[in-house]
Amino acid sequence: MKTMITDIRGFWRLIGQSRRILIILAGFASAQAGPLQEAVIKTGCSQYQDPKTIEPLKKFKCSAMDKGCVTCHLDCNTLSPANQKEPPDYYLKAKEPALCLECHSASGKNISPAAAKDLSPAHDNQPLGKSRCSSCHDPHSSDIPKLILKYSHGPYNARLCSACHPAPVAGEVQLTKADVDSLCYECHTQFKAEMGGTKSQHKLLSQSKRSCMECHDPHAANQEYQLKKPAQELCVSCHDEPSKGTTQGNALLPTSGGTNLQYLKLSSKYVHEPAKKSCLICHDAHASQFPKELRVSMHDLCMNCHGPNSETIVNSSQPFPLFNGLVSLPPKTFEKLKLFELPGKYVHEPVNVSCALCHDAHASDYAAELYAPVTDVCVACHGSNGMRLMPSKEPFPLFDGKVLVPPKSFDKLTVLSLIGDRIGHPTTKHPVWVAATADKAELNCITCHVSHSASTGPKLLANTKEVTCQKCHEM
Protein backbone atom coordinates (compact mmCIF):
# COMPACT_ATOMS: atom_id res chain seq x y z
CA MET A 1 0.00 0.00 0.00
CA LYS A 2 2.84 2.38 0.93
CA THR A 3 4.54 1.63 -2.37
CA MET A 4 1.36 2.49 -4.23
CA ILE A 5 1.01 5.82 -2.36
CA THR A 6 4.65 6.66 -3.08
CA ASP A 7 4.13 5.91 -6.78
CA ILE A 8 1.04 8.13 -6.93
CA ARG A 9 2.86 11.01 -5.20
CA GLY A 10 5.75 10.59 -7.63
CA PHE A 11 3.33 10.62 -10.51
CA TRP A 12 1.81 13.96 -9.42
CA ARG A 13 5.26 15.47 -8.82
CA LEU A 14 6.14 14.50 -12.39
CA ILE A 15 2.94 16.13 -13.67
CA GLY A 16 3.77 19.31 -11.76
CA GLN A 17 7.30 19.40 -13.16
CA SER A 18 5.96 18.87 -16.70
CA ARG A 19 3.53 21.76 -16.30
CA ARG A 20 6.34 24.05 -15.11
CA ILE A 21 8.48 23.01 -18.08
CA LEU A 22 5.62 23.70 -20.49
CA ILE A 23 5.04 27.14 -18.92
CA ILE A 24 8.74 27.98 -19.24
CA LEU A 25 8.82 26.84 -22.87
CA ALA A 26 5.68 28.80 -23.65
CA GLY A 27 7.21 31.91 -22.11
CA PHE A 28 10.41 31.38 -24.08
CA ALA A 29 8.46 31.01 -27.32
CA SER A 30 6.45 34.12 -26.50
CA ALA A 31 9.61 36.10 -25.80
CA GLN A 32 11.14 34.96 -29.08
CA ALA A 33 8.13 35.98 -31.12
CA GLY A 34 7.13 38.88 -28.90
CA PRO A 35 8.38 42.07 -30.64
CA LEU A 36 6.70 41.39 -33.97
CA GLN A 37 3.58 39.96 -32.35
CA GLU A 38 3.30 43.10 -30.22
CA ALA A 39 3.87 45.36 -33.21
CA VAL A 40 1.24 43.55 -35.24
CA ILE A 41 -1.33 43.70 -32.46
CA LYS A 42 -0.49 47.31 -31.56
CA THR A 43 -0.99 48.57 -35.11
CA GLY A 44 -4.12 46.51 -35.62
CA CYS A 45 -2.55 44.60 -38.51
CA SER A 46 -3.63 41.33 -36.96
CA GLN A 47 -7.05 41.97 -38.50
CA TYR A 48 -5.48 41.58 -41.93
CA GLN A 49 -2.28 39.59 -41.45
CA ASP A 50 -1.65 36.59 -39.22
CA PRO A 51 1.81 37.08 -37.66
CA LYS A 52 2.30 33.31 -37.83
CA THR A 53 2.67 33.60 -41.61
CA ILE A 54 5.84 35.62 -41.02
CA GLU A 55 7.12 34.06 -37.82
CA PRO A 56 9.06 32.25 -36.60
CA LEU A 57 11.73 34.52 -37.99
CA LYS A 58 14.72 32.92 -39.66
CA LYS A 59 18.42 33.34 -38.88
CA PHE A 60 18.86 36.71 -40.59
CA LYS A 61 16.21 39.37 -40.09
CA CYS A 62 15.51 42.73 -41.68
CA SER A 63 16.07 45.42 -39.03
CA ALA A 64 12.79 47.08 -40.01
CA MET A 65 10.97 44.11 -38.49
CA ASP A 66 11.79 45.40 -35.00
CA LYS A 67 9.96 48.64 -35.76
CA GLY A 68 6.72 46.95 -36.71
CA CYS A 69 4.69 46.38 -39.86
CA VAL A 70 3.86 50.05 -40.45
CA THR A 71 7.52 50.81 -41.12
CA CYS A 72 6.99 49.53 -44.67
CA HIS A 73 3.23 48.90 -44.88
CA LEU A 74 0.30 51.27 -44.66
CA ASP A 75 -1.73 51.18 -41.48
CA CYS A 76 -4.90 49.47 -42.73
CA ASN A 77 -6.95 51.03 -39.93
CA THR A 78 -6.28 54.57 -41.11
CA LEU A 79 -6.92 54.03 -44.83
CA SER A 80 -9.72 56.04 -46.35
CA PRO A 81 -12.50 54.16 -48.21
CA ALA A 82 -11.08 55.53 -51.49
CA ASN A 83 -7.69 53.92 -50.80
CA GLN A 84 -9.25 50.64 -49.76
CA LYS A 85 -10.81 50.14 -53.19
CA GLU A 86 -7.47 49.71 -54.91
CA PRO A 87 -4.76 49.39 -52.26
CA PRO A 88 -1.14 49.06 -53.41
CA ASP A 89 0.42 45.61 -53.53
CA TYR A 90 0.87 44.29 -50.00
CA TYR A 91 -0.22 47.75 -48.78
CA LEU A 92 3.35 48.99 -49.24
CA LYS A 93 4.00 52.67 -48.51
CA ALA A 94 6.01 53.02 -51.72
CA LYS A 95 7.10 50.93 -54.69
CA GLU A 96 10.37 49.02 -54.86
CA PRO A 97 13.22 49.90 -54.95
CA ALA A 98 12.31 53.36 -53.60
CA LEU A 99 10.88 51.88 -50.40
CA CYS A 100 13.99 49.80 -49.72
CA LEU A 101 16.30 52.68 -50.52
CA GLU A 102 14.76 54.73 -47.73
CA CYS A 103 16.91 52.66 -45.38
CA HIS A 104 19.49 50.85 -47.51
CA SER A 105 22.45 52.49 -49.16
CA ALA A 106 26.19 51.97 -49.45
CA SER A 107 26.68 54.43 -46.62
CA GLY A 108 23.96 52.93 -44.47
CA LYS A 109 22.09 56.24 -44.24
CA ASN A 110 18.68 57.17 -45.54
CA ILE A 111 18.94 58.26 -49.16
CA SER A 112 16.68 59.30 -51.98
CA PRO A 113 15.76 56.95 -54.85
CA ALA A 114 18.08 58.96 -57.07
CA ALA A 115 20.99 57.54 -55.11
CA ALA A 116 20.31 54.00 -56.26
CA LYS A 117 23.73 53.94 -57.92
CA ASP A 118 25.23 53.68 -54.41
CA LEU A 119 24.19 50.04 -54.35
CA SER A 120 25.37 49.13 -57.83
CA PRO A 121 28.88 47.99 -56.70
CA ALA A 122 27.21 45.31 -54.60
CA HIS A 123 25.31 44.20 -57.72
CA ASP A 124 28.22 43.81 -60.15
CA ASN A 125 27.84 47.47 -61.14
CA GLN A 126 24.46 46.78 -62.73
CA PRO A 127 21.94 49.62 -62.32
CA LEU A 128 19.06 48.94 -59.98
CA GLY A 129 16.65 50.97 -62.08
CA LYS A 130 13.13 49.72 -61.38
CA SER A 131 14.24 46.34 -60.07
CA ARG A 132 12.19 44.71 -57.33
CA CYS A 133 14.53 44.04 -54.41
CA SER A 134 12.17 41.32 -53.18
CA SER A 135 12.79 39.29 -56.32
CA CYS A 136 16.15 38.32 -54.78
CA HIS A 137 15.84 39.27 -51.10
CA ASP A 138 13.24 38.23 -48.56
CA PRO A 139 11.81 41.45 -47.07
CA HIS A 140 11.34 39.84 -43.65
CA SER A 141 13.92 37.16 -42.84
CA SER A 142 16.04 34.42 -44.36
CA ASP A 143 18.49 31.70 -43.36
CA ILE A 144 20.90 33.04 -45.99
CA PRO A 145 23.05 36.18 -45.48
CA LYS A 146 21.82 39.38 -47.18
CA LEU A 147 18.30 37.93 -46.83
CA ILE A 148 18.71 36.03 -50.09
CA LEU A 149 15.72 33.86 -51.00
CA LYS A 150 15.92 30.12 -50.35
CA TYR A 151 16.68 28.81 -53.87
CA SER A 152 19.27 30.57 -56.03
CA HIS A 153 19.97 30.13 -59.74
CA GLY A 154 23.46 28.68 -60.24
CA PRO A 155 25.15 31.70 -61.90
CA TYR A 156 23.50 34.10 -59.46
CA ASN A 157 24.55 32.00 -56.46
CA ALA A 158 28.12 31.96 -57.74
CA ARG A 159 27.95 35.74 -58.31
CA LEU A 160 28.68 35.21 -62.01
CA CYS A 161 26.48 38.08 -63.18
CA SER A 162 28.61 38.44 -66.30
CA ALA A 163 27.48 34.99 -67.46
CA CYS A 164 24.13 36.54 -68.37
CA HIS A 165 24.70 40.31 -68.24
CA PRO A 166 27.43 42.33 -69.97
CA ALA A 167 28.28 45.84 -68.78
CA PRO A 168 25.20 48.07 -68.77
CA VAL A 169 24.60 50.29 -71.77
CA ALA A 170 23.11 53.76 -71.22
CA GLY A 171 22.15 52.76 -67.71
CA GLU A 172 20.16 49.71 -68.88
CA VAL A 173 20.71 46.06 -67.92
CA GLN A 174 21.56 43.97 -70.98
CA LEU A 175 21.65 40.25 -71.84
CA THR A 176 24.51 38.37 -73.45
CA LYS A 177 22.00 36.87 -75.92
CA ALA A 178 19.25 38.35 -78.04
CA ASP A 179 16.42 37.00 -75.90
CA VAL A 180 15.83 35.29 -72.55
CA ASP A 181 15.08 31.79 -73.85
CA SER A 182 18.21 31.72 -76.05
CA LEU A 183 20.23 32.68 -73.01
CA CYS A 184 18.68 29.93 -70.87
CA TYR A 185 19.14 27.25 -73.56
CA GLU A 186 22.85 28.08 -73.79
CA CYS A 187 23.37 26.36 -70.44
CA HIS A 188 20.31 24.13 -70.38
CA THR A 189 21.26 22.32 -73.57
CA GLN A 190 19.87 18.97 -72.43
CA PHE A 191 16.51 20.57 -71.76
CA LYS A 192 16.42 22.09 -75.25
CA ALA A 193 17.28 18.73 -76.82
CA GLU A 194 14.55 16.98 -74.82
CA MET A 195 11.99 19.58 -75.90
CA GLY A 196 12.87 19.02 -79.54
CA GLY A 197 12.04 15.32 -79.36
CA THR A 198 8.61 15.63 -77.74
CA LYS A 199 5.16 15.47 -79.34
CA SER A 200 3.36 17.87 -77.00
CA GLN A 201 4.78 21.12 -75.63
CA HIS A 202 3.41 23.71 -73.27
CA LYS A 203 2.17 26.38 -75.67
CA LEU A 204 3.90 29.11 -73.72
CA LEU A 205 7.25 27.79 -74.97
CA SER A 206 6.40 28.68 -78.56
CA GLN A 207 4.47 31.86 -77.88
CA SER A 208 7.17 33.86 -76.15
CA LYS A 209 10.92 34.36 -76.36
CA ARG A 210 11.01 34.90 -72.63
CA SER A 211 8.86 31.91 -71.70
CA CYS A 212 11.37 30.66 -69.10
CA MET A 213 10.95 33.84 -67.08
CA GLU A 214 7.17 33.58 -67.14
CA CYS A 215 7.48 30.85 -64.48
CA HIS A 216 11.08 30.98 -63.21
CA ASP A 217 12.97 33.81 -61.57
CA PRO A 218 16.47 34.10 -63.09
CA HIS A 219 18.01 35.01 -59.75
CA ALA A 220 16.35 33.55 -56.66
CA ALA A 221 13.00 32.46 -55.23
CA ASN A 222 11.52 30.71 -52.22
CA GLN A 223 10.27 27.83 -54.40
CA GLU A 224 12.40 25.00 -55.78
CA TYR A 225 13.57 25.49 -59.39
CA GLN A 226 13.30 29.24 -58.75
CA LEU A 227 9.56 29.18 -59.47
CA LYS A 228 8.02 32.60 -58.96
CA LYS A 229 5.11 31.08 -57.04
CA PRO A 230 4.22 27.62 -55.72
CA ALA A 231 3.60 25.39 -58.76
CA GLN A 232 -0.16 25.16 -58.32
CA GLU A 233 -0.58 28.93 -57.91
CA LEU A 234 1.58 29.48 -60.95
CA CYS A 235 -0.50 27.18 -63.17
CA VAL A 236 -3.84 28.43 -61.93
CA SER A 237 -2.82 32.07 -62.42
CA CYS A 238 -3.05 31.43 -66.17
CA HIS A 239 -5.33 28.44 -66.53
CA ASP A 240 -8.12 29.19 -64.06
CA GLU A 241 -11.48 30.36 -65.37
CA PRO A 242 -11.54 34.20 -65.57
CA SER A 243 -13.85 35.93 -63.12
CA LYS A 244 -16.89 37.70 -64.49
CA GLY A 245 -16.01 41.16 -65.73
CA THR A 246 -12.28 40.45 -65.80
CA THR A 247 -9.80 39.30 -68.40
CA GLN A 248 -7.77 37.09 -66.08
CA GLY A 249 -6.77 33.71 -67.37
CA ASN A 250 -4.67 32.70 -70.32
CA ALA A 251 -6.45 33.60 -73.54
CA LEU A 252 -3.99 31.36 -75.38
CA LEU A 253 -5.35 28.20 -73.75
CA PRO A 254 -7.54 26.31 -76.26
CA THR A 255 -9.93 23.48 -75.60
CA SER A 256 -9.13 19.97 -76.72
CA GLY A 257 -11.21 20.92 -79.76
CA GLY A 258 -8.76 23.71 -80.48
CA THR A 259 -11.47 26.23 -81.33
CA ASN A 260 -13.08 27.89 -78.33
CA LEU A 261 -11.35 29.07 -75.16
CA GLN A 262 -11.66 26.91 -72.07
CA TYR A 263 -10.38 27.36 -68.54
CA LEU A 264 -10.18 25.14 -65.50
CA LYS A 265 -13.32 25.80 -63.50
CA LEU A 266 -11.91 25.02 -60.08
CA SER A 267 -14.90 26.71 -58.45
CA SER A 268 -17.06 23.77 -59.59
CA LYS A 269 -19.04 21.64 -57.14
CA TYR A 270 -16.80 18.59 -57.67
CA VAL A 271 -13.04 19.06 -58.01
CA HIS A 272 -10.65 16.16 -58.67
CA GLU A 273 -8.20 16.01 -55.76
CA PRO A 274 -5.00 16.23 -57.86
CA ALA A 275 -6.35 19.45 -59.41
CA LYS A 276 -6.48 20.93 -55.90
CA LYS A 277 -2.96 19.82 -54.99
CA SER A 278 -0.65 20.21 -57.99
CA CYS A 279 -1.00 20.20 -61.76
CA LEU A 280 2.49 18.67 -61.91
CA ILE A 281 1.22 15.36 -60.54
CA CYS A 282 -0.33 14.60 -63.95
CA HIS A 283 1.28 17.11 -66.33
CA ASP A 284 4.90 17.84 -67.19
CA ALA A 285 5.37 21.61 -66.99
CA HIS A 286 7.25 21.73 -70.28
CA ALA A 287 6.64 18.88 -72.71
CA SER A 288 5.91 15.19 -73.11
CA GLN A 289 5.20 12.44 -75.63
CA PHE A 290 1.51 12.52 -74.69
CA PRO A 291 -1.24 15.09 -75.38
CA LYS A 292 -1.57 18.05 -73.02
CA GLU A 293 1.90 17.28 -71.65
CA LEU A 294 0.54 14.33 -69.68
CA ARG A 295 3.24 12.23 -68.06
CA VAL A 296 1.85 8.97 -69.47
CA SER A 297 -1.24 7.95 -71.44
CA MET A 298 -4.55 9.02 -69.91
CA HIS A 299 -5.55 5.44 -69.04
CA ASP A 300 -2.22 4.72 -67.31
CA LEU A 301 -2.33 8.13 -65.61
CA CYS A 302 -5.64 7.39 -63.90
CA MET A 303 -4.83 3.78 -63.06
CA ASN A 304 -1.53 4.70 -61.36
CA CYS A 305 -3.60 6.18 -58.53
CA HIS A 306 -6.99 4.49 -58.87
CA GLY A 307 -5.63 1.00 -59.57
CA PRO A 308 -3.94 -1.45 -57.15
CA ASN A 309 -1.73 1.36 -55.75
CA SER A 310 -4.67 3.28 -54.27
CA GLU A 311 -4.62 1.94 -50.70
CA THR A 312 -0.81 2.06 -50.50
CA ILE A 313 -0.75 5.70 -51.66
CA VAL A 314 -3.28 6.82 -49.05
CA ASN A 315 -1.57 4.99 -46.16
CA SER A 316 2.08 5.50 -47.16
CA SER A 317 4.28 7.50 -44.78
CA GLN A 318 6.96 7.83 -47.49
CA PRO A 319 6.91 9.58 -50.89
CA PHE A 320 5.27 7.26 -53.40
CA PRO A 321 6.73 6.95 -56.94
CA LEU A 322 4.25 7.33 -59.80
CA PHE A 323 4.71 6.82 -63.55
CA ASN A 324 7.95 4.85 -63.17
CA GLY A 325 9.42 7.49 -60.88
CA LEU A 326 8.55 10.59 -62.93
CA VAL A 327 6.63 11.90 -59.91
CA SER A 328 7.31 11.44 -56.21
CA LEU A 329 3.93 11.84 -54.52
CA PRO A 330 4.30 13.26 -50.98
CA PRO A 331 2.72 11.24 -48.15
CA LYS A 332 -0.87 12.09 -47.24
CA THR A 333 -1.44 13.92 -50.52
CA PHE A 334 -4.89 12.33 -50.81
CA GLU A 335 -7.30 11.63 -47.97
CA LYS A 336 -8.95 8.85 -49.95
CA LEU A 337 -8.69 7.19 -53.34
CA LYS A 338 -11.45 5.20 -54.97
CA LEU A 339 -10.15 1.82 -56.11
CA PHE A 340 -11.16 1.24 -59.71
CA GLU A 341 -11.55 -2.41 -60.63
CA LEU A 342 -12.87 -4.20 -63.72
CA PRO A 343 -14.14 -7.48 -62.27
CA GLY A 344 -16.53 -8.28 -65.11
CA LYS A 345 -15.85 -10.19 -68.31
CA TYR A 346 -17.35 -7.42 -70.44
CA VAL A 347 -15.71 -3.98 -70.37
CA HIS A 348 -17.29 -0.77 -71.62
CA GLU A 349 -15.17 0.33 -74.58
CA PRO A 350 -14.53 3.93 -73.41
CA VAL A 351 -12.83 2.50 -70.30
CA ASN A 352 -10.04 1.03 -72.43
CA VAL A 353 -9.71 4.21 -74.50
CA SER A 354 -9.63 6.99 -71.90
CA CYS A 355 -11.31 7.86 -68.61
CA ALA A 356 -11.44 11.46 -69.88
CA LEU A 357 -14.04 10.54 -72.51
CA CYS A 358 -16.66 10.67 -69.73
CA HIS A 359 -14.95 12.33 -66.75
CA ASP A 360 -13.44 15.80 -66.60
CA ALA A 361 -9.95 15.33 -65.17
CA HIS A 362 -10.13 18.59 -63.23
CA ALA A 363 -13.57 19.70 -62.09
CA SER A 364 -17.26 19.55 -62.85
CA ASP A 365 -20.65 20.47 -61.47
CA TYR A 366 -21.70 16.83 -61.79
CA ALA A 367 -20.86 13.91 -59.50
CA ALA A 368 -17.75 11.85 -60.32
CA GLU A 369 -16.55 14.85 -62.37
CA LEU A 370 -18.74 13.77 -65.31
CA TYR A 371 -19.01 16.24 -68.17
CA ALA A 372 -22.81 16.22 -67.91
CA PRO A 373 -25.61 14.39 -66.06
CA VAL A 374 -25.31 10.58 -66.36
CA THR A 375 -27.94 10.11 -69.08
CA ASP A 376 -26.54 13.00 -71.16
CA VAL A 377 -23.07 11.45 -70.98
CA CYS A 378 -24.36 8.11 -72.26
CA VAL A 379 -26.64 9.59 -74.92
CA ALA A 380 -23.76 11.71 -76.24
CA CYS A 381 -22.42 8.51 -77.87
CA HIS A 382 -25.40 6.16 -77.90
CA GLY A 383 -27.88 8.76 -79.19
CA SER A 384 -28.06 10.48 -82.58
CA ASN A 385 -24.31 11.30 -82.51
CA GLY A 386 -23.53 7.59 -82.81
CA MET A 387 -24.46 7.47 -86.48
CA ARG A 388 -21.80 10.09 -87.25
CA LEU A 389 -19.25 9.16 -84.60
CA MET A 390 -18.57 5.60 -85.76
CA PRO A 391 -17.72 6.31 -89.43
CA SER A 392 -15.93 9.62 -88.73
CA LYS A 393 -12.34 9.81 -89.93
CA GLU A 394 -11.70 12.95 -87.89
CA PRO A 395 -11.72 13.46 -84.10
CA PHE A 396 -15.37 13.78 -83.09
CA PRO A 397 -16.31 16.58 -80.62
CA LEU A 398 -18.52 15.86 -77.62
CA PHE A 399 -19.73 18.05 -74.76
CA ASP A 400 -19.27 21.36 -76.59
CA GLY A 401 -15.79 20.40 -77.73
CA LYS A 402 -14.43 19.51 -74.29
CA VAL A 403 -13.77 15.99 -75.60
CA LEU A 404 -12.46 14.84 -78.96
CA VAL A 405 -13.11 11.14 -79.58
CA PRO A 406 -10.28 9.82 -81.77
CA PRO A 407 -11.36 8.05 -85.00
CA LYS A 408 -11.83 4.29 -84.71
CA SER A 409 -12.02 4.47 -80.91
CA PHE A 410 -14.87 1.97 -80.78
CA ASP A 411 -15.21 -1.31 -82.67
CA LYS A 412 -18.97 -1.16 -82.31
CA LEU A 413 -21.50 1.22 -80.84
CA THR A 414 -25.14 0.57 -80.07
CA VAL A 415 -27.14 3.53 -81.36
CA LEU A 416 -30.51 3.99 -79.65
CA SER A 417 -33.52 5.29 -81.59
CA LEU A 418 -34.70 7.83 -79.04
CA ILE A 419 -37.36 10.50 -79.16
CA GLY A 420 -35.85 13.72 -77.87
CA ASP A 421 -33.01 11.80 -76.18
CA ARG A 422 -35.37 10.82 -73.37
CA ILE A 423 -37.84 8.16 -74.62
CA GLY A 424 -37.54 4.91 -76.57
CA HIS A 425 -35.32 2.43 -74.71
CA PRO A 426 -35.50 -0.49 -74.08
CA THR A 427 -38.97 -0.33 -75.66
CA THR A 428 -40.65 2.29 -77.81
CA LYS A 429 -42.35 4.32 -75.09
CA HIS A 430 -40.00 3.55 -72.20
CA PRO A 431 -38.21 6.59 -70.69
CA VAL A 432 -34.43 6.55 -70.23
CA TRP A 433 -34.57 9.38 -67.69
CA VAL A 434 -37.09 10.33 -65.01
CA ALA A 435 -36.44 12.95 -62.36
CA ALA A 436 -36.15 11.88 -58.74
CA THR A 437 -39.17 12.17 -56.49
CA ALA A 438 -39.59 12.18 -52.73
CA ASP A 439 -39.74 8.38 -52.58
CA LYS A 440 -37.86 7.31 -55.71
CA ALA A 441 -34.33 7.90 -56.96
CA GLU A 442 -33.67 9.33 -60.40
CA LEU A 443 -34.10 6.90 -63.26
CA ASN A 444 -31.10 7.07 -65.59
CA CYS A 445 -28.81 4.77 -67.54
CA ILE A 446 -26.98 3.41 -64.52
CA THR A 447 -30.26 2.38 -62.92
CA CYS A 448 -30.08 -0.63 -65.26
CA HIS A 449 -26.49 -0.67 -66.58
CA VAL A 450 -23.05 -0.47 -64.98
CA SER A 451 -20.72 2.07 -66.53
CA HIS A 452 -17.42 0.18 -66.54
CA SER A 453 -17.64 -3.62 -66.59
CA ALA A 454 -20.05 -6.48 -65.94
CA SER A 455 -20.33 -10.25 -66.18
CA THR A 456 -23.96 -10.27 -67.30
CA GLY A 457 -23.24 -9.67 -70.98
CA PRO A 458 -22.15 -7.06 -73.53
CA LYS A 459 -25.08 -4.79 -72.60
CA LEU A 460 -23.48 -4.35 -69.15
CA LEU A 461 -26.72 -4.90 -67.25
CA ALA A 462 -26.34 -4.52 -63.51
CA ASN A 463 -28.25 -7.77 -63.03
CA THR A 464 -30.32 -10.22 -65.04
CA LYS A 465 -33.01 -8.71 -67.23
CA GLU A 466 -35.78 -9.97 -64.98
CA VAL A 467 -34.25 -8.58 -61.78
CA THR A 468 -33.41 -5.30 -63.49
CA CYS A 469 -37.02 -4.79 -64.61
CA GLN A 470 -38.42 -5.81 -61.24
CA LYS A 471 -36.54 -2.96 -59.56
CA CYS A 472 -39.18 -0.60 -60.93
CA HIS A 473 -41.94 -2.93 -62.14
CA GLU A 474 -42.94 -5.23 -59.34
CA MET A 475 -44.59 -8.33 -60.76
Which of 129, 51, 124 has the alpha carbon at shortest distance from 97?
Answer: 129
Q: Measure the CA–CA gap between 475 and 464, rounded to whole angstroms.
A: 15
With residue 271 as reference, give the H or E element that holds it.
strand 270-271
- How much is the pLDDT for 204? 87
Round to whole Å and give the CA distance between 312 and 119. 54
In whole angstroms, what is the distance from residue 440 CA to residue 196 CA? Answer: 57
What digits encode the pLDDT tens for the residues 412-445? 899 999 998 889 999 999 999 999 999 889 999 9
- Report the alpha-carbon distance of residue 48 to residue 76 in Å, rounded: 8
In this structure, the strands spanning 270-271 and 363-364 are antiparallel
Query: Cβ(395)–Cβ(405) under 8 Å?
Result: yes
| pLDDT tens, residue by residue, 67-106 | 888 889 887 777 666 555 677 788 888 888 888 888 886 5
Percent of the chain, pLDDT > 70? 79
Mean pLDDT of the region 336-347? 90
Q: What are phi and psi of 52, to 5 degrees?
A: -65, -20
Extents of the domains making up the chain: 42-115+126-148, 150-228, 265-341, 345-475
CA distance 463 to 475: 17
Strand partners, 398: 403
Rounded Cα–Cα distance for residues 374 and 394 (Å): 26
Q: What residues does 278 pair with on adjacent strands?
A: none
